[in-house]
Structure 1
Amino acid sequence: MKTLLISYAILASSLSGQLFAQHEHAATSSSPMKVSRTIILQQLLAEKGIDNREGQMLIVDYPPNSSSPAHRHPCPTFGYILEGEIESVFEGKTHVYKKGDSFYEFTNGLHSSARNTSSTVPAKLLVFFLAEPGKPTSVPEK
């Protein structure tokens, strides 16, 4: 279990940076393809000081011209761009993240958009959440 905690700490520190996030939302009506996500790790944590939390890693695929609607993450969120480029608007500030860039998004910040601006190149994002078990990691903004 200590190895798992150390792995999470290394991942979190390697993914920290500027603010951002994205996720499980359909693409806008102008986009023919949908943003998709695939969970690659989900582990309940029972370590001293971080009990009742779940580490969750997932891959978010952004086809060309796709986007996700406004949302919030009710947990700390770390991201790393694996492929392509994503334009993100978080708390009113626009960021453009390219392959190799990392970011951190604080709990419940408004992520008003995330999109792949390329008409030909897909984008891929690795996301790490430190969430409450059984709770959603992405909540649509009303």
Structure 2
Amino acid sequence: MKQSRVAVAALMFALCGAAHANDTGEEKIELVMRQAIPEAAGKNVLIATVSYTPGLASEAHMHRGSVFAYVLEGHVVSQVEGAAAKTYGPGESWYEAPGSHHLISRNASKTKPAKLLVFALVGEQDPVKLPIPK
């Protein structure tokens, strides 16, 4: 059982583009769960936490599937292309449509950490996020 959890975690980190450690200057992504959806062949639900150290921002990116983000702690500034940037606090959430460009995702504070819970629909082999094509 423990080996299968370790194998799943290792696979998820690879599929997510690696879990980013804060000392790399990127957000830290921690897998909570990945589960195939029987009524949607080829699709998985991915649940993860995304942690930002004070002042940290993600690179602009996109997602192949739908993403739902919920702020657990701190405040996060988020902007999806075509919409204004908005600051979200604990208990607030937003939705990102498949293929939308997530231009801004950053900790609003220079002194306090922030943390999100992310629920995403992804293909069996899809990473959770991708760079925006140039």
* SS, match of residue 85 in structure 2: strand
Question: Which of 6, 16, 40 is 2:32 aligned to?
Answer: 40
Pairing of 1:3-42 with structure 2 (within 5 A): 33-42=25-34
* 1:56 is aligned to 2:56: no
- TM-score scaled by structure 2? 0.78
Cα offset, 1:113, TM superposition? 1.5
Structure 2 stretches of 5 or more lacking a match?
1-18
Check whether the contact 1:25–1:34 (CA below 8 A) recurs between aligned residues.
Answer: yes
Q: Who is 1:85 aligned against?
A: 75
Structure 1 stretches of 5 or more lacking a match?
1-23
* SS, match of residue 66 in structure 1: coil
Check whether the contact 1:26–1:67 (CA below 8 A) recurs between aligned residues.
Answer: no
CA distance in 2: counterparts of 1:107 and 1:25, whole angstroms:
23
CA distance in 2: counterparts of 1:32 and 1:66, whole angstroms:
11
Question: Which of 105, 113, 125 is 1:122 aligned to?
Answer: 113
* RMSD of aligned alpha carbons: 2.0
